[in-house]
Amino acid sequence: MERYEPLKIEQKWQKIWADNKTFKATEKPDTLKMYIAEMFPYPSGAGLHVGHVRNFTIVDVLARFYAQQGYNVMRPFGYDTFGLPAENYAIKTGTAPQEVTKININNFRKQAKRLGYAIDWDREINTSDPDYYKWTQWCFLQLYKKGLAYQKESYQWWCPEDQTVLANEQVENGKCWRCGHEVEKKKMKQWFFKITEYADELLSEIDALDWPDKIKTMQKNWIGRSAGAEIDFEIVGGAPKIKVFTTRPDTILGATFLVVAPEYPSLDALTNDDTKEAVKAYKTAALKKSEIERQENKEKTGVFTGSYAINPATKEKIPVYVADYVLAGYGTGAIMAVPAYDDRDREFAEKFDLPIVEAEFVDRDLYGTPKITYKMRDWLISRQRYWGCPIPIAYDKEGNPHPIPEDQLPVLIPEVEDFRPDNSGHSALAKAKDWLKVELYNEDTGKVEEMTRETDTLDGYACSSWYLWRYASPHDKKHAWDEKAIKYWEPVDIYVGADHAVAHLLYVRFWCKFFADEGYLPFREPIKKLIYHGYINAPDGKKMSKSKGNVIDPLDVINDGYGADTLRTYEMFIGPVELDAAWDPRSVGGVYRFLNRCWSLLGNISKADNIIIRNKTIKKVTTDIVKCNFNTAVAALMEYVNELYKQGASKEDLIALAKLLKPFAPHLASEMLERLDTDDEWPKWDEKYLTSDTVEVIVQVNGKLRAKLTVKTEDLEDEEKITSLALSDEKVAKYTKNGVKKSIFVKKAHLLNIVV
């Protein structure tokens, strides 16, 4: 038997799979389908990291496992390519993001191929490919037509130095993450998707999903349903009345003041000459704080507006304050403060010396109207970025938006030289002067007019909100997805990721419900089962990062001679799937030795019959994979191999081994199966061999331990049988060949003493 040479074997099988298109998925109406995917990777310049490998290998193990069971498996692959890293690189180097993206994808694909994944490479997609984003734009237009894509003025973080809007998580201590300049809040017109329209259904359908509880709870909290009431308070002097949202309308008798958010629209009307300046200063300061800071349990701040409201229950005059602990985007942005029963209100009342009244509770329905409120906001999708999907809208002279007709899609990203946003708050698209102008029919005037294109691009999450359907018919030129293909393949059976618990996983559910309502999808939940796995950390347990110099490159593991099978098997063995795990180089070596032993067994087929442990292992590995207990499945295989080493392995033992090993180490297992001259059909176990319990009997010869026998429990009753089993064991026979004086069986101790 020659040496185990993983790189040679892997190259051979990767070529066979590529030449034969082994993993090409086609619709087979009479075969059960299994659609398994990982969350779209972003192909960064650094290439594949060990986290990707864990993610992709889980998908691959499942894909191969179900294929071996006879399912018609689809395992597609694609790239989420719009976004900041490529754009920032472009700004720094002047290389077009299109170019960088192409290079990164090629590198990423090459690396993924070396891992031997069972990918249908004909289904590769890329969000920045015009053939793809044409349909992202089409999706936008469907939402726009139904009023679910709309524009609204809202306060956004704005960096005056970089001239761009920043996301919440890009503001660090009130400063821009990139240049360190102090940021401000700027009122800007932005595009939103009305995800709140589906809040109720997004919430009510969570429970039925086969998703980890952790993720379900995170989504529930994010949606944040709150049942309460809206109550109107008249303002003395005739300023517009204030509508508050409260979950405790029964506490209204104790409402001794009102508080509005600094962004409250009619705040100015509540002020007078004495209070105007102080309110304005307070507002300016408050706008610099993030919502998280505003909700922190620090000393309350606020200013009296100068106005009084009438409490409709007590008819008393109560003061109206502005304070930043009231948030603009939640409820109505105004509250009735009940310091006796609400801690935040109490702190505020104590600081500003306002009355705290422990009043009786009243009927919840006496004042105001019932109202359900959600914490979740509409989804802000405008980005002043070059490297994103252009929003297919143009404006007429009055500034009214008009959709680009579907037959003019895609709106291509124009070429520019400088990718920086400009100082008017527009993306670099605004610099493409020719592109900016478009002749469009204006339905309002009935004329074809010159219009100006929208220069905002879409949040990257829009691109990944429908890709799971694109995979079903990735090259369809006429539709975003083909009805027949969708009906066969969707919804996704198993989806694997380690991130995006609320953003992406909520957005796909939202789009799914919308497109189901529009008749484009025959289901309302896009993902049946979700597997959320842990991260892989550096050997010291710390997060891997370039700056710490502790990054493990998965390609190094392969090229060091261990091969892809070792890397794959190791990453499945590393620990329970849902937990973070630390990389352990010694354990990589251990897995390599295990695969080596599997290989060596091939050269030494014996007659031994390991029927019990074989059946046990088949059952254990099968049920473990179904439960995603990949680490214990690998451990069971290791134990099996140990046993085969001790007992010798029959051809049947080895066939089972190779079949069970294939999802983890597909190259080695394929080579073994070829040499054993058999297919890869998943083996079945027979309960018959597992139900009758077995026990271990210790055999001593002249007081020395010589063997351990596995016997059926019922055979303990049969001393003669035990003795003859022992004497026929070769490890015992060595010492008894000159005759046996006597033997004593101690049943209770499972011990057979032989004296020679």
Task: Choose between 328 and 613: whose C-beta lies nearer to ligand ANZ.
Answer: 328
Per CB under 6 A, which of residues 341..380 are in contact with ligand ANZ? 341-342
Site string for ligand ANZ, 523-542 (x = CB under 6 A): --------------------
Shortest distance, CB of residue 643 to ligand ANZ, whole angstroms?
Answer: 58
Shortest distance, CB of residue 225 to ligand ANZ, whole angstroms?
Answer: 9
Task: Choose between 247 and 275: whose C-beta lies nearer to ligand ANZ.
Answer: 247
Cβ 722 vs Cβ 743: under 8 Å: no
Task: Choose between 245 and 583: whose C-beta lies nearer to ligand ANZ.
Answer: 245
Shortest distance, CB of residue 202 to ligand ANZ, whole angstroms?
Answer: 17
Per CB under 6 A, which of residues 585..644 are in contact with ligand ANZ? none
Task: Choose between 336 and 638: whose C-beta lies nearer to ligand ANZ.
Answer: 336
Task: Choose between 260 and 458: whose C-beta lies nearer to ligand ANZ.
Answer: 260
Measuring CA to CA, how many Å separate 357 from each of 229, 246, 314, 354?
21, 17, 12, 10
| Residue 121 token pair | 């490479």
Cβ 507 vs Cβ 465: under 8 Å: yes
Q: Tell me if residue 302 falls in helix, strand or coil.
A: coil
Shortest distance, CB of residue 456 to ligand ANZ, whole angstroms?
Answer: 28
Strands 149-159 and 164-166: antiparallel
CA 292 to chain centre: 24
Shortest distance, CB of residue 291 to ligand ANZ, whole angstroms?
Answer: 10
Shortest distance, CB of residue 273 to ligand ANZ, whole angstroms?
Answer: 28
Shortest distance, CB of residue 264 to ligand ANZ, whole angstroms?
Answer: 10
Q: What is the DSSP string of 674-707?
A: HHTT---PPP---THHHHS-EEEEEEEETTEEEE
Shortest distance, CB of residue 226 to ligand ANZ, whole angstroms?
Answer: 3
Shortest distance, CB of residue 334 to ligand ANZ, whole angstroms?
Answer: 7
Per CB under 6 A, which of residues 209..228 are in contact with ligand ANZ? 226
Alpha carbon distance 565, 546 (integer Å): 26
Residue with tokens 């010396």: 353
Q: What is the DSSP letter of 544?
A: P
Shortest distance, CB of residue 362 to ligand ANZ, whole angstroms?
Answer: 12
Site string for ligand ANZ, 492-521 (x = CB under 6 A): ------------------------------
CB crowding 236-273: b at 16 or more within 10 Å, else e:
eeebeebbbbbebbbbbbbbbbbbbbbbbeebeebbee
Name which of 705, 742, 703, 737 is nearest 723 in CA terms: 742
Alpha carbon distance 649, 641 (integer Å): 9
| Residue 631 token pair | 């680490």
Task: Choose between 300 and 431: whose C-beta lies nearer to ligand ANZ.
Answer: 300
Task: Choose between 226 and 442: whose C-beta lies nearer to ligand ANZ.
Answer: 226
Shortest distance, CB of residue 287 to ligand ANZ, whole angstroms?
Answer: 15
* Phi, psi (degrees; rounded to nearest 5) at 606: -120, -175
Cβ 655 vs Cβ 605: under 8 Å: no
| Residue 579 token pair | 């937990």
Cβ 334 vs Cβ 326: under 8 Å: yes
Shortest distance, CB of residue 282 to ligand ANZ, whole angstroms?
Answer: 16
How many residues sit in the footprint of ligand ANZ (CB under 6 A)? 16
Alpha carbon distance 415, 387 (integer Å): 11
544: Cβ contacts below 8 Å, ≥ 6 apart: 49, 50, 536, 537, 538, 550, 551, 552, 583
* Residue 715 backbone class (left: φ over 0; alpha: ψ -120 to 50; beta: rest): alpha
Shortest distance, CB of residue 341 to ligand ANZ, whole angstroms?
Answer: 3
| Residue 561 token pair | 């001679």
Task: Choose between 326 and 416: whose C-beta lies nearer to ligand ANZ.
Answer: 326
Task: Choose between 186 and 248: whose C-beta lies nearer to ligand ANZ.
Answer: 248
Cβ 524 vs Cβ 516: under 8 Å: yes
Shortest distance, CB of residue 486 to ligand ANZ, whole angstroms?
Answer: 38
* Phi, psi (degrees; rounded to nearest 5) at 659: -65, -40
Shortest distance, CB of residue 218 to ligand ANZ, whole angstroms?
Answer: 16
Name which of 609, 610, 608, 612 is nearest 689 in CA terms: 612
Alpha carbon distance 569, 710 (integer Å): 30
Can you state the angle between helices 6-20 and 666-675, rounded to 10 degrees? Answer: 90
Site string for ligand ANZ, 304-343 (x = CB under 6 A): ----------------------xx--xx-x-xx-x--xx-
Task: Choose between 25 and 337: whose C-beta lies nearer to ligand ANZ.
Answer: 337
Task: Choose between 327 and 436: whose C-beta lies nearer to ligand ANZ.
Answer: 327
Task: Choose between 254 and 392: whose C-beta lies nearer to ligand ANZ.
Answer: 254
Alpha carbon distance 131, 477 (integer Å): 8
Q: What is the DSSP letter of 718?
A: -
Alpha carbon distance 460, 381 (integer Å): 8
Shortest distance, CB of residue 149 to ligand ANZ, whole angstroms?
Answer: 25
**Half-sphere exposure (Cβ direction) of 191: Cα atoms closer than 13 Å:** 23
Task: Choose between 218 and 727: whose C-beta lies nearer to ligand ANZ.
Answer: 218
Shortest distance, CB of residue 331 to ligand ANZ, whole angstroms?
Answer: 3
Task: Choose between 202 and 709: whose C-beta lies nearer to ligand ANZ.
Answer: 202
* Phi, psi (degrees; rounded to nearest 5) at 132: -90, -50
Alpha carbon distance 31, 9 (integer Å): 31
Cβ 72 vs Cβ 34: under 8 Å: yes
Shortest distance, CB of residue 621 to ligand ANZ, whole angstroms?
Answer: 47
Measuring CA to CA, how many Å separate 737 from each of 183, 719, 740, 749?
90, 20, 8, 26
Where do runs of H (alpha helix) occur along 21-170?
50-68, 84-93, 97-114, 130-145
Question: What helix, strand, coil percent values describe the chain, rounded to 5?
Answer: 40, 20, 40
Task: Choose between 251 and 384: whose C-beta lies nearer to ligand ANZ.
Answer: 251
Strands of the 527-532 sheet, one edge to the other: 72-74, 33-38, 492-497, 527-532
Site string for ligand ANZ, 225-264 (x = CB under 6 A): -x------------------xxxx--x-------------
Omega of the bond leading into 491 within 30 degrees of 0 (cis)? yes
Task: Choose between 154 and 631: whose C-beta lies nearer to ligand ANZ.
Answer: 154
Task: Choose between 117 and 330: whose C-beta lies nearer to ligand ANZ.
Answer: 330
Task: Choose between 253 and 591: whose C-beta lies nearer to ligand ANZ.
Answer: 253
Q: Which residues bind ligand ANZ (CB under 6 A)?
A: 226, 245-248, 251, 326-327, 330-331, 333, 335-336, 338, 341-342
